[in-house]
Amino acid sequence: MIDTPRSNRLHLAIFGRRNVGKSSLINFITGQELAIVADVPGTTTDPVYKSIEILPLGPAVVIDTAGLDDTGELGEKRVAKAREVLRKTDIVLLVVDPREPVTAFERDVVQAARERGIGIVGVRNKADLWGWNLPLADDLRALNIPWVDVSCAMGRGLEDLKRAIIAAAPADWDPLGVVRGVVEAGQHLMLVVSIDASMPKGRLKLPEVQTLRDALEENVLCSVVRDTEFAEALERFPRPDLVVAHSLVIDYVARVLPEEIPLTTTSTLFARYKGDLVTFARGAVALDKLEPGDRVLIAEACTHCVMPTDIGRHKIPGWLEQYVGGAIEHDHVNGGQFPDASALRDYRLVIHCGGCMLNRREVMYRILACQEAGVPITNYGVMLSYLHGVAERVLRPFPEAHRALVAAGGHPRTIIELDGAALSV
Amino acid sequence: MIDTPRSNRLHLAIFGRRNVGKSSLINFITGQELAIVADVPGTTTDPVYKSIEILPLGPAVVIDTAGLDDTGELGEKRVAKAREVLRKTDIVLLVVDPREPVTAFERDVVQAARERGIGIVGVRNKADLWGWNLPLADDLRALNIPWVDVSCAMGRGLEDLKRAIIAAAPADWDPLGVVRGVVEAGQHLMLVVSIDASMPKGRLKLPEVQTLRDALEENVLCSVVRDTEFAEALERFPRPDLVVAHSLVIDYVARVLPEEIPLTTTSTLFARYKGDLVTFARGAVALDKLEPGDRVLIAEACTHCVMPTDIGRHKIPGWLEQYVGGAIEHDHVNGGQFPDASALRDYRLVIHCGGCMLNRREVMYRILACQEAGVPITNYGVMLSYLHGVAERVLRPFPEAHRALVAAGGHPRTIIELDGAALSV
């Protein structure tokens, strides 16, 4: 995997006066995460950029402005530095001590962010000391920004903070793109599609079109072949740097393709694009801890017939019971419904559809609710590739997700034979 | 060009009793057309299949059932032969002599076609002898099929007949597909796309997706690259059998691509797919006969802003006047409006949009109306490639259209510089 370029990461700038707990907040955000922290050294007043992976938000940069906080106001030099930071910032986290009155510092930060159209989230830190969900002081309310309570010491409030970050993120926030970080400019992506009579004439599946478009936008050279021409294309075309196969034909493609050529599926790319692949890989492995009698929640985002209705209602429960070796209690939610964290605690696992009807933000909220409840969540595509025994191969192009899978064994104890309809999710 | 396989041609079976004028009707249909007649020899009672190109309907097969007509009823052997014909038939043309009463023969044919869901058109032949548009006799009306009057001797009624054929054609009638006959199974089609910021994220242009889908369905190996990677792809990928470039980048692609590799544009493929490329090529060449003061009709099928509105209203008239060297009278129709043949006679040329909002059938009706009026018709894509000096190259993969163009000179007298917006039609 090619590391996500910094420009494509969500940039979070932490502003706050001295002693409000900026450093502990940064450690809190980065410390619990699958972090690849790469400190950029700076002088005392220079902001420090840390590249991290925030689950499930994806690649991010946390900007530590500790050097800019040593006075109640932004002096001229600090104003220039702050401007420089704000030019790169997607979201400002404004940290305050709720006992202290609002000063020109906070008002300046809010105004500067607002002028630039930058999202802003207020953080009342050390909530363990001052109390949770206290009424907002008048001067904080006057800033007219959303607030969350956090306790770094107690490790509480991170989900609320992430939710607020997602809500404040730019509307077109899309840190990954479908293929970003998996193939790069000048490389060759081979897309293997499956065409059957049931597909509307003149169309390709939307995820396939989106994969192509994103790859082309990244200056990738693409080839597109049906499974029937795959072997021939592999001989005649230059060696692909990545093969993306439709799940329906993954068995055949995996058999024909040399092991050393990276292979994944469109549904894996979209599990990453629409949600969080590491979380989903961990969730898939959680299947191995399921026992007969456990409760599982199956969530489908579409209320209409985009999905063959029997996948979620019948097939998946059937395969689960086959895998677990006994009856499973399965509940179902559809469309816009999704339980909150307290209701999710009743489940041992949440299995979500591909989410093609949801935007990334909505899927994030759902993953966060599961994290808050301490319930693993996976999605159809990742779970089925796990049950089908191909997850280890199709996750290889995504090192963190692959590591998460392999750490937990990486292979299902038995391989469940899936039928065609299931593989087309 | 690979000849259209017979299975993809519209099959018209001519039924009728002896002496109603079946042969003259067949000669009438085929004789006036750009016909590549390939008679399949048969015994006296065997039906004869003629492959022809009916403008603007496209590739067709006319089935001559002369051997089946020598009695008022279908005898057992003839019934078997007729069944065999009907299995391959899309539309039955039932030819009658309007002076003769309806017999079991006509009723059997109508019933047999109806049982099989085959379209049927009644033809009152020799209308010059018996009169045009006479009231339908009761027994003809009882057959409950549409009727047209034709005079092969006078050469009248063919447009009406074609219109009736189009109306009776199967709903999914699509004799060509986007790439059929231009590339074949196992060949390599390279699609060169142009991606600009104005395109919605995650999408390719619909004609590009449709080109890919149709090519894949024909078991063609596809590659898709941006113009920025085209030269590199040409070096690294196997030699393409056809390059399909977006009009926006055709200049560059034509310059880089060796002359011997077939090249066309998506808009040329779609001019053929949605309309009739031979007709449009002839229509483009008709630009050379335009003189200042001539009237031109510009037709856009979409009423909303799919097309930048200034293309039809301003840019095309501007280029025409530049080409003709004087003022042109230009009228405009939009959306579902289109004049009938009598109103079309006022024009020296009709210029139609790409027709992406119309189905092939509707474009056919419009072309037929122009043919009836004796007015040439072209479309945006073909005309602009002509004015831009690339028509000769991009029509080469379509021999009949290329021949029609070359016969009339093939090159514009001056090359009009077009801007980007125009080339994206």
Measured on CA atoms in the order B303, B305, B310, B311, is the torsion positive or negative? negative
CATH number listed for the domain at residues B188-261:
3.40.50.11420
Contacts (Cβ under 8 Å, ≥6 apart) of A115: none
> pLDDT at position A2, please?
39
Better-scored residue on pLDDT, B422 or A366: A366
pLDDT above 80: residue B281? yes
Comparing A123-127, A236-240, B13-17, B204-208, the range with the smallest average pLDDT is B204-208
Between chains, do A214 and B202 touch, taking CB under 8 Å as contact?
yes
pLDDT above 60: residue B43? no
CB < 8 Å to B184, chain A: none
pLDDT above 50: residue A40? no
Tokens of A117: 């159209």
Comparing B39-48, B376-385, B390-399, the range with the smallest average pLDDT is B39-48
CB < 8 Å to B186, chain A: 229, 232
Tell me the average pLDDT across B161-182. 81
CB < 8 Å to A178, chain B: 202
pLDDT confidence bin for A4, thresholds 50/70/90: low
Q: Domain residue spans in chain A?
A: 6-168, 188-261, 274-423
The Cα–Cα gap between B378 and B356 comes to 15
Better-scored residue on pLDDT, A202 or B107: B107
For every residue of A22-60, DSSP letters joined together read HHHHHHHHHHTS----------TTS-EEEEEEETTTEEE
Helix (H) or strand (E) holding B119: strand B119-124
pLDDT above 50: residue A1? no
> pLDDT at position A78, please?
74
What does the pLDDT look like over B340-352, one tens digit per residue?
899 999 999 999 9
Nearest chain B residue to A202 by CA distance is: B210
Sheet hosting strand A349-352, strand order edge to edge: A329-334, A295-300, A349-352, A377-379
Of A186, A216, A228, the CB nearest to B193: A216
The Cα–Cα gap between A110 and B130 comes to 89
DSSP code, position A89: -
pLDDT above 70: residue B328? yes
pLDDT confidence bin for A166, thresholds 50/70/90: confident
* A274-423 has the same fold as A6-168: yes
pLDDT above 50: residue B31? yes
Between chains, do B228 and A222 touch, taking CB under 8 Å as contact?
no
> At residue B195, what is the residue type?
I
Q: Is B249 helix (H, G, I), strand (E, B) or coil?
A: helix
Q: How far is CA B368 from CA A188, B160, B287, B296, B377, in A?
A: 46, 9, 19, 17, 10
Neighbours of B304 (CB within 10 A): 9
pLDDT confidence bin for B8, thresholds 50/70/90: low
Between chains, do A224 and B219 touch, taking CB under 8 Å as contact?
no
> pLDDT at position B3, please?
47
Between chains, do B225 and A222 touch, taking CB under 8 Å as contact?
yes
> pLDDT at position B35, please?
45
Of these ranges, A206-210, A405-409, B294-298, the one predicted with the greatest mean pLDDT is B294-298
pLDDT above 90: residue B161? yes
Tokens 């209701």 belong to which residue? A343
Closest-CA residue to A348 (of A295, A387, A386): A295
CB < 8 Å to B219, chain A: 226, 228-229
The Cα–Cα gap between A377 and A276 comes to 10
Between chains, do B224 and A229 touch, taking CB under 8 Å as contact?
no
Substitution target from A178, A191, A193, A212 for chain B, most B beta carbons within 10 A: A212
> pLDDT at position B345, please?
95
CB < 8 Å to B189, chain A: none
Count of CB pairs separated by less than 8 Å, A with B = 92
Neighbours of A42 (CB within 10 A): 14
Of B212, B232, B233, the CB nearest to A204: B212
Comparing A44-48, A387-391, B218-222, the range with the smallest average pLDDT is A44-48
What does the pLDDT look like over B310-320, one tens digit per residue?
778 888 899 89
CATH number listed for the domain at residues B275-423:
3.40.50.11410
pLDDT confidence bin for B38, thresholds 50/70/90: very low
Closest-CA residue to B318 (of B239, B255, B240, B387): B387
CB < 8 Å to B225, chain A: 216, 221-222
Q: How far is CA A385 from CA A203, A316, B11, in A?
A: 25, 13, 47
CATH topology of domain A274-423: Rossmann fold (3.40.50)
Neighbours of B139 (CB within 10 A): 14
Distance from CA of A4 to the nearest CA of B (A): 19
> pLDDT at position A228, please?
95
- Class of CATH domain B6-168: alpha beta
What does the pLDDT look like over A176-216, one tens digit per residue?
689 988 999 999 999 999 887 666 677 888 889 999 999 99
Q: Is A21 helix (H, G, I), strand (E, B) or coil?
A: coil
CB < 8 Å to A221, chain B: 223, 225, 229, 232-233, 236-237
Query: How many Cα atoms sit within 13 Å of B365 on the Cβ side?
Result: 15
Of A203, A217, A233, the CB nearest to B213: A203
Comparing A23-27, A216-220, B76-80, B236-240, the range with the smallest average pLDDT is B76-80
The Cα–Cα gap between B231 and B252 comes to 10
pLDDT confidence bin for A8, thresholds 50/70/90: low
What does the pLDDT look like over A56-92, one tens digit per residue?
777 788 998 877 765 545 567 777 788 888 888 889 9
